[in-house]
Amino acid sequence: MRHTFDMTPFTRSGIGFERLLHQLDAISQPEPDDNYPPYNIEKTGDDRYRVALAVAGFAENELSITAEGNVLTVSGKRTETDKSDGMLYRGIATRSFIRRFSLAEHVAVKDAQLSNGLLTIDLERQVPEAMKPRRIPIGGGTASLSDSRKAA
């Protein structure tokens, strides 16, 4: 059971955190019980991730992957098949689905592969050079000391 959390105090005093507060609010909302298709998320490197969805029975042309803003959307829509093909039992789900994943800033989709009923999507965090940590040299330590002695 999830409890909702009121974000109002934070929205009144926080500036520029709207996206983060919106995501926290969305996470706190109860999720529908639909967990189809099952998926895994794994970290494959320092800045690399992989999402794997079990999409048995779907062909490449029946799947769609869209990255818009900071949301990765994977959807599948089966084309109609002949129901009278002699199928005695259908245990492999073939219903349409939409699965959304929130991506952190600077995370981009690098590749997607469909193999043996498993759709894998490779992601990579690409931090711009301007945002990477950089070492700042400390200047003027000995020069300013000698300059201050000359002035005295």
| pLDDT tens-digit series, residues 31-70 | 556 688 999 999 999 999 999 999 998 999 999 999 998 8
The answer to whether residue 84 scores a pLDDT higher than 90 is: no
Q: What's the whole-model pTM score?
A: 0.67
Between 38 and 131, the higher pLDDT residue: 38
Q: Which domain holds residue 124?
A: 35-82+90-129
Residue 135 lies in a domain: no
Q: Are residues 4 and 68 in the same domain?
A: no
Q: Are residues 68 and 115 in the same domain?
A: yes
Cβ neighbors of 75 (< 8 A, separation 6 or more) are 63, 64, 66, 96, 97, 98, 99
Cβ neighbors of 110 (< 8 A, separation 6 or more) are 48, 122, 123, 124
Residue 151 lies in a domain: no
pLDDT, average across residues 105-128: 93
CATH number at residue 55: 2.60.40.790
Residue 141 lies in a domain: no
Q: What is the pLDDT of residue 78?
A: 83
Q: Are residues 124 and 77 in the same domain?
A: yes
Residue 51 lies in a domain: yes
Residue 94 lies in a domain: yes
Residue 145 lies in a domain: no
pLDDT digits (tens, 9 = 90+) for 8-26: 776 666 667 677 777 777 6
- Token pair 């189809």 in the structure block, residue: 36
Phi, psi of 24 (to 5 degrees): -60, -40
Q: What is the pLDDT of residue 27?
A: 64
On the 0-12 / 13-18 / 19+ scale of CB atoms within 10 A, 21 is middle
Q: Are residues 51 and 15 in the same domain?
A: no
As for how many domains the chain has, the answer is 2
Q: Which two tokens stand for residue 27?
A: 């996470």
The answer to whether residue 98 scores a pLDDT higher than 60 is: yes
Q: Of 21-30, 43-52, 117-126, 132-141, which gets the smallest average pLDDT?
A: 21-30
